[in-house]
Chains A and B, each alone.
Chain A
Amino acid sequence: MLAKLDQVTKRYIKNEGVRDLTLCFPPGEVVGVLGLNGSGKSTMLKLIAGLLFPTDGRVVVFDGPPRRNRAKIVYLGETDALWPWMTPKDADRFMSGLYPDFDSGRFGELLDALEVPRRKTKTMSKGERGRLRLAMALSRDAKLYLLDEPLAGIDLISREKILSSIVREWHTDETILLSTHEVAEAEGLFERTIFLRDGRLALDAQTEDLRLQGKSVVETFKEVLA
């Protein structure tokens, strides 16, 4: 088991992020994490990444607390957290210096494949920055990838490139948790789909099984969460 949530609750002052969440993630799965805004998707991914600590319950990643194993986790947050003066070359320097598993060669290839311009990020469009951040994430060689809304606010062409790159770069022993609102575009990637509602698990299913019933994930989404 790569990652495990054991009756995890995260309470904030005014509301609860996630409630009583119990989930297991074995290696080799591409999992979609779906839900309405405020359903706890981001909170769940941050808990697994070790950015947040649970109020109740335990989060175990690689047999230990997530923060301790942060070198083996790739977390791509939804905030566009790049320094504005950074160029892709700076990003390469940053990642190579801090992550032993970062592959500069692959980074260069991904930058080309995703057509990321070699300029400061403050001069880039949102789509270009999103693609740069994805290239940074996918050039690491980890076993657990947590991608929080990697397609948010990004143009159609960039979204297609991003999804395509994720498919190409994924290895069969790696687990990817991907949260998104772009359900229709991304559902093809998910072997397993998790639906969150108000911080609780609403449905956890194998995606092809859902389709066996003649429904797309989009339709299941509306049924389960509307």
Chain B
Amino acid sequence: MTDENGWSLEMDAGPIYVQIGERVREQLARGDLKPGEKLPSARDLASRLSVNPNTVVHAFERLEADGVIETKRGLGTFVREDAPVEAMRDESLRASALRYANDVRRLGVAQEEALRALKEVWDAGKA
């Protein structure tokens, strides 16, 4: 189930409420969501993703407990001003790095070769 920007869900990738939480963190890490920004209401998001609103509420509750978002009575749900964006960026970076490392380790590649390949691809991408 994919939606416009960054709300894609996989039905076989674990509970949906966890995935929604991960998507919020990723969007924050990428800067697609900014601290203080308003999130769609649980029902709106649920409708867009064709998932149960209670699932979205569950995800929001977890994010609120983790200090990422907050609910302002009558106004909606917002990303906290003090949301740990840096930490999430780091987390996201580490997760991607881990995925890369696991992938290339299976090819039996040494760290030096892995880094070289990464640098080459990175430099090529800049141009």
Chain B nearest CB from A169 CB (Å) reads 9
Q: Are A188 and B50 in contact (CB under 8 A)?
A: yes
Closest to A210 in B: B15
Chain B residues with CB under 8 A of A187? 11
Q: Are B11 and A184 in contact (CB under 8 A)?
A: yes
Residue B52 lies at the interface, judged by CB distance under 8 Å to chain A = yes
- In the complex, which of the residues A30, A168, A186, A214 contacts B12, with contact meaning CB atoms closer than 8 Å? A214
Residue B21 lies at the interface, judged by CB distance under 8 Å to chain A = no
The binding surface of chain A is classed by DSSP as helix
Q: Interface size of B by Cβ–Cβ distance < 8 Å?
A: 22
Q: Are B52 and A189 in contact (CB under 8 A)?
A: yes
Query: Which residues of chain A from 174 to 226 have a CB within 8 Å of any chain B CB?
Result: 184-191, 208, 211-212, 214-219
Chain A residues with CB under 8 A of B14? 211-212, 214
Known contacts being A188-B1, A208-B17, is A167 close to B53, with CB within 8 Å? yes
- In the complex, which of the residues A172, A212, A216, A217 contacts B54, with contact meaning CB atoms closer than 8 Å? A172
Sampled A-B contacts (24; CB under 8 Å): A30-B52, A163-B50, A164-B47, A167-B43, A167-B51, A167-B52, A167-B53, A185-B1, A185-B50, A188-B1, A188-B51, A191-B54, A208-B17, A211-B11, A211-B12, A211-B15, A212-B15, A214-B12, A215-B12, A216-B11, A217-B11, A218-B11, A218-B12, A219-B12
Q: Which residues of A contact B (CB under 8 A)?
A: 30, 160, 163-164, 167-168, 170, 172, 184-191, 208, 211-212, 214-219
Q: Which residues of B contact A (CB under 8 A)?
A: 1, 9-17, 43, 46-55, 58
